[in-house]
Amino acid sequence: MSSAVSRDSALLGRLLMASKRTSVIAFYFLALVLLVLDLWTKGLATAHLNYAEPVVLTGFFNLTLLHNTGAAFSFLSTAGGWQHWLFGGIASIISVVLVVWIYRAPATAVLLKFALALILAGALGNLWDRVTLGYVVDFIQWHYNDYYWPAFNIADAAISVGASAMVIDSFRASRRD
């Protein structure tokens, strides 16, 4: 009897580990798909848009190729160049932390892992630009009349949605506790 329980317990353990690996792989795959989408759209913007010349799509949405040497919304973009290395280093460290966090998160933490995958994709997309180009390619621009939101890209949107999902998950987690 005890060998049957032990065998069943071992089988359950293997199934749970396989399920966790599948779950982790799915979130890494999501991050990879978003990373590829981000790099592809930045490549399209670079190839087909003229720098700083808006292509008006609607009364509130333009495609405008811009190069951001700073952080979010061009923060520190006029600094002397040291910010390139600082932001690259921060993004590298955060990416490693996110990869480990996704792996270690419980299989039931689906929203958290979704959020982390989005943030990972965004961090890697912008890191790639910083390392290969020295700036981040931005091209999506929202506006209302003469009030313009800073230009951004798919990576920035993924980070924003991922951060919002993390906040929602934290509220849900605090209710469970």
* Residue boundaries of the structural domains of the chain: 23-176
Tell me the pLDDT band of 71, cut-offs 50, 70 and 90: low
Percent of the chain at pLDDT above 70? 79
Query: What is the pLDDT at residue 9?
Result: 57
Q: What is the pLDDT of residues 19-63, one digit of tens each?
A: 666 689 999 999 999 999 999 999 999 999 999 999 999 999 999
* Mean pLDDT within 145-170: 96
Give 80 or 87, the one with higher predicted confidence: 87
Query: What is the pLDDT at residue 14?
Result: 60
Q: What is the mean pLDDT of the chain?
A: 87
Annotated catalytic residue within 8, 138, 146, 177: 138
Q: How far is CA 127 from CA 37, 89, 101, 121, 136, in A?
A: 15, 9, 19, 10, 8
pLDDT at 18 over 60: no
Residue 129 designated active-site? no
* Mean pLDDT within 71-90: 69
pLDDT at 171 over 90: yes
Tell me the pLDDT band of 75, cut-offs 50, 70 and 90: low
Q: Please state the φ and ψ torsions of residue 31, each to the nearest 5 degrees.
A: -60, -40
Tell me the pLDDT band of 100, cut-offs 50, 70 and 90: very high
Residue 38 designated active-site? no
Annotated catalytic residue within 8, 38, 146, 156: 156
Query: What is the pLDDT at residue 20?
Result: 66
d(CA 8, CA 104): 24
pLDDT at 12 over 60: no
pTM of the model: 0.84
Query: What is the pLDDT at residue 125?
Result: 97
Query: What is the pLDDT at residue 88?
Result: 84
Element (H, E) at 68: strand 61-68
Token pair 């990576």 is found at 155
